[in-house]
Amino acid sequence: MKKYINYILMSLFLILVPFVVFGTTVNLDNPLGNKTLQDVLRAIIAWIYWIALIGIAPIMYIIAGYRFITAAGDPQKVDTAKKMVLWTSIGLAVATAVYGIIDLIKIILGVK
């Protein structure tokens, strides 16, 4: 039975392909509103930056603060909380520096 269903689907596909290919014109609108790849990449980077700045970093700082408060003097837990704050700060600095890194690469490569 499964074999026949595959044959039927394949037949329908082969019959309908010419109608789809030659029968209609498809216009795809640009949902992002950007015209170049550089504009698309800038929009994606800006989106990731704001997600990191507004969403992820504050949550990580809150979790690190909670771990620091609930460490109860345990040096390993305090160290873990400090590392969380350090790596969150480094990640935020990198996310902030991305625009400068992109401009630096453009200058090095000579892209206008």
pLDDT along the chain (112 residues), means of 10: 74 71 66 76 84 90 94 92 95 86 85 76
Question: What pLDDT does 24 receive?
Answer: 62
C-alpha 51/C-alpha 58 separation (Å) is 10
**Domain assignment of residue 53, yes or no:** yes
71 with 81: CB under 8 angstroms? yes
* Reported pTM: 0.60
Question: What pLDDT does 2 receive?
Answer: 66
**Domain assignment of residue 13, yes or no:** no
**Domain assignment of residue 102, yes or no:** yes
**Domain assignment of residue 74, yes or no:** yes
**Domain assignment of residue 51, yes or no:** yes
**Domain assignment of residue 52, yes or no:** yes
Give the domain extent around 54: 32-109
